[in-house]
Amino acid sequence: WQGGMAFRYHVGPGPVVARLRVDNDATTDGVKSIWDTFGIIRGIELPDELVIIGAHRDAWGPGAADNVSGTTSVIEAARAVMEEVKAGWRPRRTMIFATWDAEEWGIIGSTEYVEDDSLRLSRGAIAYLNQDVAAQGPRFGGGGSPSLRSLLRDVVKTVRYPGDTASVYSVWRKQTGVADSLEPAMGDPGGGSDFAGFYNHLGIPHVEWGFGGQGGVYHSAYDSYWWMSRFGDPGFLRHTAAARIGTAMMMRLANAEVLPYDYVEFAKTMRRMVAPVDRALERPRTGASTAALRDAIDAFGRSAAAFTEARDAALAQPVQREARNRANIALLGVERALTRPSGLRTRPWFRNLIYASDEDNGYATIAFPSVNEAIRSGDQALIHAEIADLAAHFRAAAAK
C-alpha cells in the first residue's frame, strides 16, 4: 500500500527468518540492590514540615530525556539553593532533594521510601515536586494536584522562556492558544511515575512540569546525548529553565508563611469532574444521583473562598507564629481528608479518592476512582454507597 513516504509499503510474509535471543536478570540474579539518594537542608522554624523534589535516576537506555533531564533539574535546583544557604539564607521548612532508583521497574525506589517513612510524610510532607522528563522539546506543560497549579503558574511567570525575552508563562499561553479569560490546561495525576506513592497512597499534594515535544525516542537506545544535544534541547536551555522553576517552587513552598494551596481552584476543578459521572450514571440507568456530591463540593468551595479571603487579609500585616502554625496544620489535613485508609475496593494501596491511575492502564488517569470503578462494576448498591462516601470526604475536607 502507499504510505506517507515516496515508496511502496509492504508487510510480510517474506523470505527472512529472524531469530531473537533474550537475556534477562533471571539468568544472573533476579534480586538487585537499589539506591535512593537525598540532599537535605533542615528547616530552622518548622523542621518537621517537608518539601520534597525528586526524579528517577534509572533508565531503559542512555535515558537522556527519561530521566537524565529530570535528575539534572533536581541536582541543579539543589546546587542553586545551596548557594543561597552558603550566603546565609535558611528555609523555614526542611527541603529534600531526592533521586530515585528502579522507577522503570515499577516505581520501586520512591514507593519504598514512602512506605518506609509513611508516618513522618503523612504528618509533615507539604508537597512533592516530580521531575520526570523535564526537557525533550519546546512545548511547556504542567500538572498535578489542582491545589498547586496556581503556584506553578505564578512561578513560571518569573522564569524566562529559553531563547526568548518572554516568560515561560507567556509562551505557554501562545503555544496552547488559550483564550484570554482562561488558563492553559494542566494534566491530572494518573500513574506511571514517582508521585504515585506520595499522592495516590498518602494524599500529599504534588505538581510536575517540563518541556516536551515529538521525541519518538521514548524508552529506546536513541534517547541519547546525541539526540538530546541536537534535537531535544540544543544548548540545554530548557534543562536550565526546568531547574529554575524547581528552585523557585522549592524556595516558595519552604518559606511560605501560610501554605500556598489554592482550594478555590481545587473546588472549581472538582465541579467540572462531576458532569462525566452524571453521564456515566445515565448509561446503565442506575437511579443514582450526584446531588449530595455536588452539595459537598459546593460547601468545600465556599469554605475555600472564605479561607482565602481571611488568609489574604491576615497576610497584609504581620501574623503571629502560633496563628500561622495553626492554619498550616489545618491546611495539611485538607487533601489527607480526601483519602480513605482502606483504599479503593479494587486496589487498597490507592487511597486517594480524587485521582488514581486507571486499573486498565497504569499511565491513564481516572477521576473520582471509587465512584467510577463502582459504576463500571454495575453494582447499584455500591454506586450509591461510593457517591455518599465521597461526599462525606469532601465535607470533612471543607471542615479542615
Active site residues: 103
Which element (helix H / strand E) includes 40? Answer: strand 37-41
CA distances for 95 relative to 52, 145, 153, 279, 347, angstroms? 6, 20, 21, 43, 31
List of residues 6+ apart from 97 with CB closer than 8 A: 38, 39, 40, 53, 54, 74, 75, 77, 78, 81
Q: DSSP code of 231?
A: I
3-state SS assignment for residue 264: helix
Asked whether the beta carbons of 79 and 86 are under 8 A apart, the reply is: no
List of residues 6+ apart from 30 with CB closer than 8 A: none
Length in residues, the chain: 400
Q: Which residue has the cell 468551595?
A: 301
Asked whether the beta carbons of 131 and 54 are under 8 A apart, the reply is: yes
Nearest in space to 189 (alpha carbons), one of 177, 203, 175? 203
- Distance, CA of 124 to CA of 93 (rounded, Å): 10
Nearest in space to 92 (alpha carbons), one of 49, 121, 52? 49
- Distance, CA of 239 to CA of 247 (rounded, Å): 12
Burial tier of 380 (Cβ tally within 10 Å: 0-12, 13-18, 19+): middle
Nearest in space to 64 (alpha carbons), one of 206, 273, 256, 233? 233
Dihedral sign of CA atoms 344, 346, 350, 353 in order: negative
Q: Which residue has the cell 483504599?
A: 343
ω into 130 cis (within 30 of 0): no
Helix, strand, coil tally for the chain in percent (to 5): 45, 15, 40
